[in-house]
Structure 1
Amino acid sequence: MTTLPETSPQTFPETTHGHIDLSAREFWTKPPAERDAAFEVLRRENPVAWSRPADSDLLPPEQNLRGFWSLTKHEDIRFASRHPEIFSSAQGITMEDFPREILMMSQSFIAMDAPRHTQLRGITLDAFKPRNMRRLQSWIQGHARDLVSEMSHLGEGDFVELVSVKLPGRIFGSFFGLPPGEIHEKTISAAQRTLGWTDPEVRGDLTAIELFAGAVMDLHETVTTLLPERRANPGDDLLSWMVQAEFDGEKMTDDELKAFFTLLAVAANDTTRHASAQAIYAFSQFPAQRDLLVADIGGRIDAAVEEVLRWGSPLLHMRRTATQDVTIRDKEIKAGDKVVLWYISANRDEDVFEDPMTFDITRKSNPHLAFGGGGPHFCLGAALARTMLRSLLTEVYTRIPDITATEPNFQVANFINGINSLPATWTPEGTRV
C-alpha cells in the first residue's frame, strides 16, 4: 500500500469557482443540463479548480477536512490516469473519504497501487478467459431477450423498474451462480443500493455510512456462504473461476474475494443499470437519432453504444491522491492532495468532441472516458458493459422501436450518474400496423 503524507489544514475558498460549488450537496440536486453548464465554465475559466471538503456524512466532521482539486479537461484526466506513480488510487477513489476499514472491504484492487494491484488484476484477468467471457455473452443476450418479451406487450411503464434494474440483476445472478431465493434477492438488493448513500430516496432513514456499510456486509455474507461450496464443487460461474484463478502462483485470500465480489456487484448492477436508462432517455430526447438507429440497427449499434457511454457517463468521477508535488496547467498540486477526475466533464470537452452537447450516434471519433482515461486502472468490465448495452438496445429498438421516455427522476449523486425511475410509453409488440 502506498503511504502518502497528510494534506495540511488550509483556508478553503467558499466555492469552487464563482457560483459553482462542486462540494455542495445542493449542486448535485441540479438537473444534468445545469451541471453540464457549470463544468463548461470550469473547462473554460478554471480547468484545475480547488474545492473545500465535500459535504459528506461518511466521516465525522472533525475528520472530513480534506479539500480536493478537480481535473475537468480530457487531456489532463488522461495524463493523471496514465501516471499512477504520481496519482495513487490507494487512498480512495471517490471525492468523499470513507473510513479506511470500509474502503478496504468494498473497493478491492481499484483502491490499490502496484504491486498488489498488478497481482490482483492479473488473477482477475485469469478468470476472465475468452471461454468464460463467451459464456457470459450468451447469458446477457438471453436475459435481454427475455426481459423485453416480459414488458413489450404492456405499452407503458417505468423502464427502470421493468428492465434497468432487472437486467443487470439477472446477469449478475448468472454471473456468480447465485442460488434462487433469499440469497439472490438479498444480494441483488445490496448491490443496487450500495452507491446510493447521497440520495435521500435510496438512503431512507439510514445515515450514509449505515447504508453503505450495511450493503457491503450483506454482500460479504453472500461470499462467506458460497465460498466453501465453490471450492469443493466449482461450477461455471465467476466466483468459481475466481476461487481457482491465480497469477504468479498466487490466489486471492477470502477477504480479497469478498472485496472483489463487492466491487463487481456494484459495477455489474448500478453502473450498467443506469447506463441502460440513460440510453432510453437519450434516444427520447433526440428522436432523429433513434430513427437512425432503428433504420440500421446492425450497422449503427456499436457507434450508438459508444455515444450512450459518452453522453450518459455512468461514473461521474474517479479520484486519485498525489504522491508528489506536480503542476497541471498553472496549479501546484501538493503531495497528499486529493485529485478528482471528472469523466462527465471530459466527455463534453469542446477540444475533443465536436458539438459535445448533442447526442450523435454518427460521430466519426468518440474517445470518451466512460471507462477511465487508460492506464492500469482502465475498467476491466468495459467489454461486458458494451455487450449488455448492445444486446439490450438491439432487442428494444427491434421490437418496440417507438419507445419514448418522459423526464426521469434523477438520482442525487456525485459519483454515479443515476436514474431512479423513467416513465415510458411504446406501441405494444405485435399491434403495430
Structure 2
Amino acid sequence: MTAPTTAPTHGDIDLSARSFWAKHPDERDQAFAVLRRENPVPWSRPAESDLLPPELNTHGFWSLTKQEDIRMASRHPEIFSSAQGITMEDFAPEAREVAQSFIAMDAPRHAQLRGITMDAFKPKNMRRLESWIRGHARDLVTEMSHLGEGDFVELVSVKLPARIFGSFFGLPEGEIRDQATNAAQRLLGWTDPRVRGDQSELELFMGAVMDLHAVAAQLIPQRRAEPGEDLLTWMVQAEFDGKKMTDDELKAFFVLLAVASNDTTRHASAQAIYAFSRFPDQKALLVEDIEGRIDPAVEEVLRWSSPLLHMRRTATQDVTVRGSEIKAGDKVVLWYISGNRDEDVFTDPFTFDIARNPNPHIAFGGGGPHFCLGGALARTMLRSLLTEVYTRIPDICAPQPEFQIANFINGINRLPATWTPEKR
C-alpha cells in the first residue's frame, strides 16, 4: 500500500481538506482543471474525517480526474474493486454493510443482487413509477406557483423526491413516511456542520441508517404477507438465478434506494433551477421550445451539476495510470465532477449549453457493472419537473444558492427564488 503523506494533493490544492469542500463550486472546478492539466492522477493524504478514529484513518487515496481514466476504472472491476467502500472517506466494515448494499460489492454477489434489482425494475413497473413522478411534479408546482417567492429547496426539491419515495415504497402518510424521508435527506450530510449540528459525522450517518432500517423492518414482513404495487413488494418478490434477497440485504437496499431517490434527485432539481437562473440565455432557449429542448437540457443539467461528485474504488493489483504507480490495496477516487468538465471530451466545458451535442457525461458513472440503475428515473423526474416549472412560472429566478459543504453529493441547502405568481 502506498505510504501516507501530510502534503497537499497538488500545489495548494488539498482534496482531503474540509476547507476545500467549503469553497464555491467554481473554485473547485478550477482546481480540478489544474489537476487535469498538471497532475491528472494525484495522491492525497487521508481525508479529514471523524467517521473512523484517528489511529484508523490512515489511508490516503489516488484521484482519477480525466474522463478516459474514470471510464477505464469503471469498466475493470477486477482491477478496481467496490467491496472496500465507495466513498473517499473510510467507514467501518459494519457501516458499509448496513448502508451501501450491492454498490459496495463485487461479483459474484454484486451480479446476483443487481439481477434481483433488475427484475424489480422491469418495464411495466417503471411505467407506473413514471406516472407517479409526472403527477407529483404537477401537484407540487400547483401548490407553490401562486406564492411568488420562497425557498425552492423547501417548497419543491425536498418534497418531490420525498413524495416519489413514498409512492415507490408504498409508505403510508404520517410518522413512518416522515421518519424515512427525514433520515434519507440527512444521511449524506455528514460533512456539512449545518446539517450535522452537534452530532459527530458518524452519529449523524449511523442514526439515519438505523432509522431507515427500523422502517424497513416494519415494512418487509407486511409486504410478504400483503403484497402491494410498490418497489419494496417487487424487491421482496424478485429473484435472480433462484435467489431472493435476505432481510438484511433488503434493509441495506432500502437505505440505498432511500438516498438515491431523495438526496441526489433533490439536489439535481435545485441545481437545475440555479443553472437556468445563472444562465438566462439558456432558460430563454428552453422556454422557447420546451418540448423540443427538454431532453438535451436535462442531459446538460446532469453534466453541469454532477449530483454525485465521486465514487471510490480499491485497487486489487498494482497498476500504472498516466505514470502514477497505484499499488494493490490503494484507494482510487473517480471524480465525476472533473470528468464532466474534461477539456478533451467537451468543447467549452465551463459553458452551460442545453444544445450541447454530443454530451457524453458521466453523471451516472463511467459504465461497467456499477452503472447507475436509477438514471432513467432521475431523467424522468427532471424532465417532468422542469417542464412544469418553465411552462407555468417561466420567470423563476434563484441566483443565490446556499451550497452544501460536501465531497460526495453536489448539494444545495437553500435556494431563495422569486417568480410571477400563477393566477388561480
- TM-score normalised by the shorter chain: which range applies? over 0.9
- Distance (whole Å) between structure 2 residues aligned to residue 159 and residue 96 of structure 1: 30
Cα distance in 2 for residues equivalent to 1:218 and 1:56: 23
- Contact kept in structure 1, 2:4 and 2:58, CA below 8 Å: no
**What one-letter code is carried by the residue in structure 2 that aligns with 1:222?**
V
Residue 367 of structure 1 is matched in structure 2 by 360
CA distance in 2, matches of 1:312, 1:175: 25
**2:177 maps to 1:184:** yes
Q: Which runs of 5+ in 2 are unaligned?
A: none
Alignment partners' CA distance in 2, 1:210 and 1:100:
16
Give the C-alpha shift of residue 359 in structure 1: 0.4
Alignment of 1:292-331 (within 5 A): 292-331=285-324
- CA distance in structure 1 between the partners assigned to 2:4 and 2:409 by the alignment: 29
In structure 2, the partner of 1:214 is 207
Q: 2:379 aligns with which of 365, 386, 389?
A: 386
User: d(CA) in 2 for partners of 1:204 and 1:268?
Assistant: 24
Superposed counterparts of 1:131-210, under 5 Å: 131-210=124-203
Amino acid at match of 1:64: N
1:345 alignment partner AA: S
Whole-angstrom distance in 1 between the partners of 2:338 and 2:422: 38
Q: Which residue of 1 aligns with 2:244?
A: 251
Contact 2:4 2:60 in 1 (8 A): no
Q: How does 1:278-357 map to 2 (within 5 A)?
A: 278-357=271-350
Amino acid in the other structure paired with 1:18: G
- Identify if the C-alpha distance between structure 1 residues 103 and 93 changes in structure 2 by more than 3 Å, giving closer, same or farther: same
Match of 2:410 among 406, 417, 425: 417
- What CA deviation, in whole Å up to 9, does each residue of 1:270-296 have, x standing for no partner? 000000000000000100000000000
The answer to whether the 8 Å contact 2:4/2:59 transfers is: no
Q: Please state how far the C-alpha of 1:406 moved relative to its aligned partner.
A: 2.5
Give the ranges of 4+ consecutive aligned residues of structure 1 lying more than 3 Å apart after TM superposition. Answer: none
Deviation at 1:227, TM superposition (A): 1.1
The CA distance in 1 between the partners of 2:422 and 2:313, in whole Å, is 47
2:21 aligned partner: 28
Q: Does 1:429 align with 2:422?
A: yes
The equivalent position to 1:116 in structure 2, one of 109, 112, 115, is: 109
Q: Residue 16 in 1 paired to residue 30 in 2?
A: no
Report the 3-state secondary structure (helix = DSSP H, G, I; strand = E; otherwise coil) of the residue aligned with 2:300: helix
- Structure 2 contact 4–46 (Cα < 8 Å) conserved: no
Counterpart Cα distance in 1 of 2:216 and 2:179: 12
Output the CA distance in 2 between the equivalents of 1:396 and 1:11.
49
- Structure-2 separation of matches of 1:430 and 1:369: 40
**Identity, % of aligned positions:** 79
The equivalent position to 2:53 in structure 1, one of 60, 70, 82, is 60
CA contact (8 A) 2:315 2:332 kept: yes
* Letter aligned with residue 363 of structure 2: A
- Aligned equivalents of 1:225, 1:205: Cα separation in 2: 29
Report the secondary structure of 1:401's partner residue.
Answer: coil
| Structure-1 separation of matches of 2:221 and 2:355 | 50
Distance in 2 between residues matched to 1:178 and 1:166, nearest whole Å: 14
Q: Distance in 1 between matches of 2:256 and 2:220?
A: 17
Tell me the distance in 2 between the aligned counterparts of 1:262 and 1:34: 32
User: Match of 1:277?
Assistant: 270
In structure 1, stretches of 5+ residues that fail to align are: 1-6
User: CA offsets per residue over residues 161-205 of structure 1, 9 Å max, x none?
Assistant: 000000000000000000111001011000000000000010011
Cα distance, 1:13 vs structure 2: 4.7
Out of 209, 216, 235, the residue aligned to residue 228 of structure 2 is 235
Q: SS in structure 1 opposite 2:417?
A: strand
Mapped to 2, the partners of 1:26 and 1:259 lie a distance apart of 31
Aligned residue identity for 1:248: D
Q: For residue 430 of structure 1, report the CA deviation from its aligned partner.
A: 2.6
> Which residue of 47, 51, 54 maps to 2:44?
51
**Alignment pair present for 1:86 and 2:79:** yes
1:297 to partner: Cα distance: 0.4
* C-alpha displacement of 1:57: 0.5
TM superposition shift of 1:62: 0.1
Letter in 1 for 2:305: G
Q: What's 1:268 paired with?
A: 261
- Partner of 1:70, secondary structure, is strand
- For 1:68 and 1:287, the matched residues in 2 are separated by 39
Q: Which amino acid aligns with 1:165?
A: V
The alignment's C-alpha RMSD in Å is 0.7
Q: Distance in 2 between matches of 1:56 and 1:11?
A: 15
Q: Secondary structure at the match of 1:321?
A: strand
CA distance in 2, matches of 1:402, 1:82: 42
Aligned with residue 127 of structure 1, among 120, 130, 133: 120
Q: Measure how far apart 1:14 and its partner are.
A: 1.1
Q: Name the counterpart of 1:4.
A: none
Offset, 1:154:
0.4
SS of corresponding position for 1:424: strand
What residue in structure 2 maps to residue 41 of structure 1? Answer: 34
Amino acid at match of 1:353: F
Distance of 1:351 and 1:243 partners within structure 2 = 44
Q: Secondary structure at the match of 2:227?
A: coil
Please state how far the C-alpha of 1:229 moved relative to its aligned partner: 1.1
Is 2:15–2:44's contact at 8 Å kept on the other side of the alignment? Answer: yes
CA deviation string 1:71-125 (max 9, x = no partner)? 0001000000000000000000000000110100000000000000000000000
